[in-house]
Amino acid sequence: MTVTQDSPARTDFVALARKLAGRFAGRAAEHDRAGDFPHDNIAELVSSGYTAMTVPREHGGGGAGLEELCRAQEALAAGCASTAFAVNMHVHGIAMIAGIGGPAAERAYRAIVEDGAVIAGGFSEPGVGGNWWHPTTKAQPVKGGYLLNGRKGFFTGFPAADLLFLSAARTDDRGLPEPVGFLVPRPERGVRVTAEWDAAGMRATGSHSLLLEDLFVADAHMVGQPGTLPLMFMQGVHWAWCSFASVFLGIARGALETVVREQRSRTLHVLDRTVAHLPGVQFRVAEMRTRLAAAEAHLYQAVRADHDAAIVTDPLGHYIEMSVMKNSVCRLAHEVVTLAMQVQGGSALMSAHPLQRAYRDVVAGLLVPPNSDVTAEWAGKHALGVPVFAEPRWEG
């Protein structure tokens, strides 16, 4: 590449992720054991420019496209899944916000590029679960903005967050709830941690539960227009679901590499060769590679799809395609890690072994959005020509 003043050399974010993943892997076991937040890793992601990856070039960021983002996140997750998942809320979140544009997006670019700000997003709520388009958090209009009251669960990355991407519902002219998105600088008052994250998997993601109490949010911090949040999300969904899938694919790839490396040199007393010579080990490793290849093909086919055209011709179909892909990739990733456990045997369960952490982390892929039952329902109805949003849901 010719480097001129107008086109400074840009960072290769996949190479950067590989380099950082090596270092993060060395700290992953301790962060997992302690269940603390990897502030050290996030600080390196900020100082290396990784967190500016998806900020547009014209706003001083890396301008990474979806494939570069996914390849980088996949590499990072193989080193420390919790760190990759925590920063995923930031790197895909800013890409979605960039798609909406406006003053809130421009303020976020500046905060990320100039001050190293990090975004975390809270859409899930107790009693709402993954049905994020029905927030129960209330946005009450007041002079100059809104007062937000409600609860948020699973707020990944909260310990390092400088900007909170929040959903809430205000009441429209007909008295109906209208979902609204806000991108708010972390406030001094109005947000309280009610339960620290203490979970079996993704232990170092700081996915705390929060209470929003009379949190004042200025009008200027609204993202897009009231009521358009679900549509905005659908239009940028490829950033969300492809990047989610890439994290869980990375965990599975890391598990395969670990298991292959160990079986090449491992011997058992009853064998005169390495464990790699056992047919069961060979077949399972072959099966892992097959499932990994299927997951990779599905993910990168979705990454390279013509999203702009799909959004115009069939936005719901686009959302469903991306959702089906994310669920399939995460299911395959879970199967790959389960096979890795079987290949390794009982030692895989030992706390000191990286596979048990991968096993606990990869399960989260089955639980994070999009909800697999809702996806199956929408995909089946869409394919069969049954109205997807007809009520009651099982008629129409």
Ligand X SMILES: Cc1cc2nc3c(=O)[nH]c(=O)nc-3n(C[C@H](O)[C@H](O)[C@H](O)COP(=O)(O)OP(=O)(O)OC[C@H]3O[C@@H](n4cnc5c(N)ncnc54)[C@H](O)[C@@H]3O)c2cc1C
- Rounded to an integer, what distance in angstroms lies between the CA atom of residue 177 and that of residue 138? 9
User: What SS3 class is residue 159?
Assistant: helix
Q: Which is nearer to ligand X, 258 or 327 (CB)?
A: 327
Say whether residue 327 binds ligand X (CB under 6 A).
Answer: no
- Taking the least distance from each CB to ligand X, the nearer of 205 and 246 is 205
Which of 130, 185, 190, 315 lies at the binding interface for ligand X (CB under 6 A)? 130
Looking at 215, 369, 381, 382, which residue binds ligand X (CB under 6 A)?
Answer: 369
**C-beta of 123: minimal distance to ligand X in Å?**
4
Identify which of residues 89 and 332 has a Cβ nearer to ligand X in the complex. 89
The least distance separating ligand X from the CB of residue 205, rounded to whole angstroms, comes to 6
371 binds ligand X (CB under 6 A): yes
Hey, what amino acid is at 82? S
3-state secondary structure 277-313: HCHHHHHHHHHHHHHHHHHHHHHHHHHCCCHHHHHHH
Q: Which CB atom, from 109 or from 233, has the smaller least distance to ligand X?
A: 233
Cβ closest to ligand X, residue 259 vs residue 333 = 333
Q: Which of 205, 209, 258, 323 binds ligand X (CB under 6 A)?
A: 205
Binding ligand X (rule: CB under 6 A), the pick from 154, 233, 319, 378 is 154
Q: Rounded to whole angstroms, how far apart are CA atoms 185 and 341?
A: 43
User: Which of 49, 79, 122, 354 is close enough to bind ligand X by CB under 6 A?
Assistant: 122
Cα 366 to chain centroid distance, Å, stands at 12
Considering the rule CB under 6 A, would residue 241 count as an interface residue with ligand X? no
| DSSP bridge pairs for 164 | 120, 184
Strand 145-155 and strand 191-195: pairing?
Answer: unpaired
For residue 142, what are the contacts with CB-CB under 8 A and spacing of at least 6?
216
Please give the DSSP secondary-structure letter assigned to residue 150: E
Closest to 12 measured CA to CA, from 78, 74, 68: 68
Query: Under the criterion CB under 6 A, does residue 121 sit at the interface with ligand X?
Result: yes
Binding residues for ligand X restricted to 249-308, rule: CB under 6 A: none
Q: Which is nearer to ligand X, 76 or 368 (CB)?
A: 368
Overall size of the chain counted in residues = 396
Residue 225 makes contact with ligand X by CB under 6 A: no
Torsion of CA 309, 311, 315, 321, to 10 degrees: 70
**Per rule CB under 6 A, is residue 191 in the interface with ligand X?**
no
Residue choice 29, 211, 260, 374 for contact with ligand X (CB under 6 A): 374
Cβ count within 10 A of residue 249: 28
For Cα atoms 296, 300, 301, give the angle at the middle one, nearest 5 degrees.
115
Site string for ligand X, 61-100 (x = CB under 6 A): ----------------------------x-----------
Answer yes or no whether residue 129 interacts with ligand X by CB under 6 A. Answer: yes
Alpha-carbon gap, residue 237 to 222, rounded angstroms: 19
User: Residue 121: helix, strand or coil by DSSP?
Assistant: strand
- DSSP 8-state assignment for residue 232: H
Nearest residue to ligand X, scored by beta-carbon proximity = 129
**Which residues within the stretch 8-67 sit at the binding site for ligand X (CB under 6 A)?**
none
Least Å distance, CB 279 to ligand X, is: 37
- Minimal distance in Å, beta carbon 344 to ligand X? 24
Question: Of 338, 348, 352, 358, whose CA–CA distance to 275 is shortest?
Answer: 348
Residue placing its CB nearer to ligand X in the complex, 374 or 388: 374
Q: Which two tokens stand for residue 115?
A: 């001050």
Residues that bind ligand X (CB under 6 A): 89, 121-124, 129-131, 154-156, 202, 205, 207, 364, 367-369, 371, 373-374
